[in-house]
Amino acid sequence: MVDALHSGMEQRLKQAKRGARRAANSQSEWIERLARVGYATKGVVYALIGVLALEAAIGSGGSVGGSRNAVETIGSQPFGQALLVITGIGLFGYALWRFIQAGFDPEDSRAIKRVGYVLSGAAHTMLGVTAIQMVIGGGGSGGSKKTWLAKLMAVDTVGPILVGVLGVVVIGYALYQVKKGWTEKFKEKLRTARMSRGEKKGATLSGRIGLVARGLVFAIVGGYVIKAAVTHDASSAKSVGGALGEIASQSYGVFLLAIVAIGLVAYAVLQFVMAKYRQIPASA
């Protein structure tokens, strides 16, 4: 009798463990799917930023802008409302993955990297909100970046210092992007064993070019954030679109803009590669 009771308890315990594992695996699968959709959505956004800037550079229409401009372009297409909803979901999926990387640290990242994940998650959450606001007629949050920067600047004594530190952080991130691309460090996160020889070459080329180009753009953004801190003028700060505009305004600006635009398209290709081959830890 005692043996039968003990055996029954063991069976129930095993069933409970199997159920818990199935629930955990199911949760991990959903997180992985959202992360991959997020990478693909980010790729679409950067592809549009790059293509529109390239078109502007060669004089065939287009426009110089950042992520918001790309989202607006998505909304202007046939079935734009539905596309915006899909874009919003993808951006929220990417943001969730970044918050999981920051909070649960499935990849044993350094503290500074986890802070970066939080900032990335927040930025993509805001962009996702902008996409959904466009669907419901809210028009998005046009000047939100400069608004919160101005509020931060207004904090007595320490405000401009905090903004300056933010600018330094952005430049540091930009340099890290360049290093990551040049040393091909990004390939450490790819399931290269599943890639064909051509896919490996394409991923390497797009990663090197794309990350260096994106690093250049963010270095300009960081420089203008520092300028805003020094001048106590939040309007001096520039977004990605503003940085591209600044590139276009230089000598040989059209040529430089075209090169950077191609680089951003290459970065988009890297995101599509990430969507398919990025290692997503099962513990996430």
pLDDT tens by residue, 160-179: 899 999 999 999 999 999 99
Quick check: 65 and 247 in contact, CB under 8 A? no
For residues 55 and 114, the answer to whether their CB atoms sit within 8 Å is no
Residue 104 lies in a domain: yes
Asked whether residue 23 is assigned to any structural domain, the reply reads no
Q: In this structure, is residue 3 part of a structural domain?
A: no
34-80 pLDDT tens trace: 999 999 999 999 999 999 999 999 988 888 999 999 999 999 999 99
Mean pLDDT of 137-163: 75
How many domains is the chain partitioned into structurally? 1
| 138 is a domain residue | yes
Sign for the pseudo-dihedral over CA of 143, 240, 99, 152: negative
What stretches of 61-110 show up as alpha helix (H) in DSSP? 67-75, 80-104
**Within a domain: 6:** no
Do the domain assignments include residue 73? yes
The burial class, CB within 10 Å (0-12 / 13-18 / 19+), for 64 is buried
Q: Which two tokens stand for residue 180?
A: 């990551």
Domain region containing 171 = 29-277
Question: What is the distance, to the nearest Å, from the Cα of residue 268 to the centroid of all Cα atoms in its chain?
Answer: 10
In a domain, 201, yes or no: yes
Residue 2 lies inside a defined structural domain of this protein: no
Over residues 19-32, the pLDDT tens digits come to 434 444 446 888 89
